[in-house]
Structure 1
Amino acid sequence: MNTPSEDYHALLARHDAMRLRRRILSPTGTDDGARRAEAPQAYDGTADQQLILDCLPLVGPLEGLIDDLYRALFERHPYLRSLFPESMAFQQAHLVEIFRHLIGNLHRTDDMIGRFTQLGRDHRKLGVRPAHFEAFEAALLEALRMRAGARWTAPLGDAWLRMLRLAVSAMVKGADEAIAEPPSWHATVTAHEFRAPGLAVLRVRPHQPYAFTAGQYASLESPLLEQAWRPYYLARAPHPDGELEFHVRARGAGGVSDVLVHHTREGDTVRLGAPRGRLALPAHTPSADVLLIASGTGWAAMKALLQQIDAERSRAFRVRLLLDGGADEGMYDVAYLDSLRRGRTWLTVLPSTGPLTDQELRAMCGVPGRGSGNLVRQQVFLALAPEVSAPDATGVFADRLASAGVPAGCVHHDSTSSVPVTGPGREAVAGALEPAVTEVTPRTTRTGLLSA
């Protein structure tokens, strides 16, 4: 049951949301009653995108703009600092990527609304409320004016505000729609085992029911690094005992993964964000050919999918698994995989023999030859562990599959990179936001799977 204080703050948050939404929908951004009665104007993202890109050199680079934004935000509102992790490095880099994505894809308004609606749902676990967006907006304008100096213009400010309010209105909507869903779940670590140097398998038991689908991921927070969250695949299909499994590899000292691997033990607590992801099996397909491609801890997602397939005997899946541990890291959880494939004729584990050529990719994915008239009927699921040289290894590999002729609708993956820029002004967008928004080309990583 909520306390009177909690109910009061919930009412304040809802009031803030309603007031902010009225401001966003108003053509002038005011809270004037006459303006509220008018229908909101159709938003032309392409026009604002071009204006922002033309003037980006005045306020760029984005890294510097974000530094000044946070400086202004915390100077004006010191209490907001508690909503962020102690180290701001990851948060600042994340916001730079969000701005690149937003600017680079502003002409795709519907896609942006969908992405930021989801972002609003996820931000609830950070304690973000609608009033905080107003403070963020003011800090952004201050940073933009400071960096542009005498060359600042009102039309440029209006373009940035319209872009920001498009994103914020979607985030407020997403948070409002998720009111019945907890913003986060507390969980107790029930097991912590090292499976390789710097790699641990954690079992956790949420304190409340946690509904998810095999193939999804969840963000984790440790009390040792408050407000720092990192996503990890759930390595176990839903089970009656309610326990969840995560595979975590430490990538460097001081991060969330390092804390979970080296400074977390049985009995400790963690916090979970809501499950997310696009690796779920087709819901209504009675049978299918499935190709699972994973490297490193991407195996966690495939492990959960295989458990679900094994449990759904009514659906005749034919599955091939290509698993690569990486030249420097090697395989882990081998005993489980060996026991899983024994007696399961529907599962074939493909040998990992090194870099795949485009021709081998086409053959593996069942892409028909020219003039054959056949269609690709196979569903491909990707989960490649990020590498230093290719932080979005999965997205890069997905682009290789597309180039090889695999239809986008047959490829399922969770990519952390920006959506590629398409449509009018593509060259201008790519040039202004280099290097984040560019034509994706194959890159070599330690997994060896991405090399052409």
Structure 2
Amino acid sequence: MRSVMSGSPDPSRADLLRGSLEAVAPVAHDLVSHFYALLFLRRPDLRALFPPAMDHQRDRLLAALLRVGAAGDEPHELRRYLRGLGRDHRKYGVLDEHYDAVGGALIGALARYLGERWTPELQAAWVEVYTWAAAVMIEAAADDAEDAPAWWDAVITAHEPRGRDIAVITVEPDRPLPYHPGQHVTVETPWWPRVWRHYSIANAPRVDGRLELHVRAVPAGWVSNALVHRARVGDRIRLGPARGGLVLRGETLRRTLCVAYGTGLAPIKALVEHMAQRQLAHRAHVFIGAEYRADLYDLGALSAMADVYPWLNVIPAVTHDRSFTGVRGALPDVLARYGDWADHDVFVSGSAALVRATAHRLTGELGVAPQRLHTESLDGSARGTVLLRGR
């Protein structure tokens, strides 16, 4: 296949594309609904590739449109994003031929909702950028298929409830699933076919190939509630390939600061295990934030590691629990009280709002260089590696 890695859309058309997206912004959800109506009308066979409820899928398409429409701003970042989409599409059963149908429905929906603004020049710009984007995704899927399956079947080997809404789940894939500590996988359950959600792997690679996942059941979360409240040992699920960039770079670290909120602890725990296995860290501080003591669901495991490794310091902090005898306060404030982090490599994982607040404080008054800050957002809106909240 001809490589498209060196090409990119005409940057002179970036303003035209961006302007068209701004024009349809007030009716964006109607546009996306019309796109799917056109697609399924023209190709009813494609409906089987999508989940029963389309709300999450509509949001994904809208996010992708916004990224493609800004192609002139960051073509290299867009190319990386599209390659990730192309690889992920394999587990849905997407074939090369499907991209033409998707492109036709997209052009039709844009034409309808842009009305008189839809000119031959604008149509040519959208056809060009979509054709390029489709080629990038097709090439990425083909590259991925050379050495990886579209998904892994896995069996649940342990299911540990931690409070009312959290479970620590261990799964064993049917074949080795390669990953780097700090990455995540997508999960599909038998109760909600074609509905995939992201969960971080909470352990460094093991000899037995098993993966630990931390899942919080969220309101109306189909997959998360099934995994926490319905799944049992022996149940089978599917796993998508590992993705994400919250990983350690290089062989040694001088000093490391890790900040985790909620089940954002999962990738941080994997990183700490990796540091211990490889003897990478000279000193590592792990701050774990929660509202209440009961939300520190895996503190025992991290504290046990700190008892073994003198270079590891684990500091839990809560905001609402008056009975808690340890550190009290929001983590950005706690970090400011604890000292200077400017010479540390920093890893932050949790909800988007908490990640943003922490990153702002660290790179502002606490003096951490942006290039030394690595973030993982559970709902996809933080800068850096993006992870959609498991639902």
C-alpha separation in 2, matches of 1:280 and 1:50: 35
Higher Cα Rg, which structure: 1
1:79-94 matches, cutoff 5 A: 79-94=45-60
Alpha-carbon deviation of 1:284? 2.2
Number of corresponding residues? 369
Does residue 401 in structure 1 map to residue 376 in structure 2? no
C-alpha separation in 2, matches of 1:133 and 1:400: 43
Distance 1:318 1:58, change over 3 A: closer
Moved more, 358-367 or 275-284: 358-367
Alpha-carbon deviation of 1:400? 4.0
C-alpha separation in 1, matches of 2:185 and 2:273: 18
Alpha-carbon deviation of 1:165? 2.3
Distance 1:233 1:165, change over 3 A: same
Decide which of 336, 339, 350 is 2:301's aligned counterpart: 336
C-alpha RMSD of matched pairs (Å): 2.6
Distance 1:344 1:123, change over 3 A: same
Alpha-carbon deviation of 1:254? 4.8
C-alpha separation in 2, matches of 1:247 and 1:42: 39
What amino acid maps onto 1:68 in structure 2? H
Q: Tell me which residue corresponds to 2:225.
A: 258
Does residue 193 in structure 1 map to residue 160 in structure 2? yes
Q: Tell me which residue corresponds to 1:239.
A: 206
Q: Tell me which residue corresponds to 1:59.
A: 24
Alpha-carbon deviation of 1:362? 9.5
Q: Residue 289 of structure 2 contacts residue 331 of structure 2 at CA under 8 Å; is this kept in 1?
A: no
C-alpha separation in 2, matches of 1:296 and 1:41: 41
1:345-384 matches, cutoff 5 A: 345-352=310-317, 353-355=328-330, 360-361=335-336, 364=339, 366-367=341-342, 376=343, 378-384=344-350
What amino acid maps onto 2:16 in structure 1? L
Q: Tell me which residue corresponds to 1:171.
A: 137
Moved more, 181-190 or 95-104: 95-104
* Identity fraction in percent: 34
C-alpha separation in 2, matches of 1:355 and 1:232: 24
Q: Residue deviations 1:292-348, cap 9 Å, x none?
A: 1001001111211222222223x4531101101234962112322232221421011
C-alpha separation in 1, matches of 2:112 and 2:338: 55
Alpha-carbon deviation of 1:364? 4.2
Query: Under a length normalisation based on structure 1, what TM-score does the superposition of the two structures give?
Result: 0.75
Unpaired stretches in structure 2, ≥5 consecutive residues: 318-327, 385-391
Distance 1:54 1:301, change over 3 A: closer
C-alpha separation in 2, matches of 1:262 and 1:311: 33
Q: Tell me which residue corresponds to 1:417.
A: 381
Alpha-carbon deviation of 1:351? 4.6
Q: Residue 293 of structure 1 contacts residue 381 of structure 1 at CA under 8 Å; is this kept in 2?
A: yes
Q: Residue 235 of structure 1 contacts residue 301 of structure 1 at CA under 8 Å; is this kept in 2?
A: yes
Alpha-carbon deviation of 1:399? 4.2
List 4+ stretches of structure 1 deviating above 4 A.
356-365
What amino acid maps onto 2:376 in structure 1? D
Q: Residue 106 of structure 1 contacts residue 112 of structure 1 at CA under 8 Å; is this kept in 2?
A: no
Q: Residue 292 of structure 1 contacts residue 381 of structure 1 at CA under 8 Å; is this kept in 2?
A: yes
C-alpha separation in 1, matches of 2:67 and 2:44: 28
SS at match of 2:36: helix
Does residue 209 in structure 1 map to residue 184 in structure 2? no
Decide which of 256, 277, 288 is 1:323's aligned counterpart: 288
Query: Under a length normalisation based on structure 2, what TM-score does the superposition of the two structures give?
Result: 0.86
C-alpha separation in 2, matches of 1:274 and 1:41: 26
Q: Residue deviations 1:176-204, cap 9 Å, x none?
A: 21122111100011111111111111111
C-alpha separation in 1, matches of 2:351 and 2:52: 26
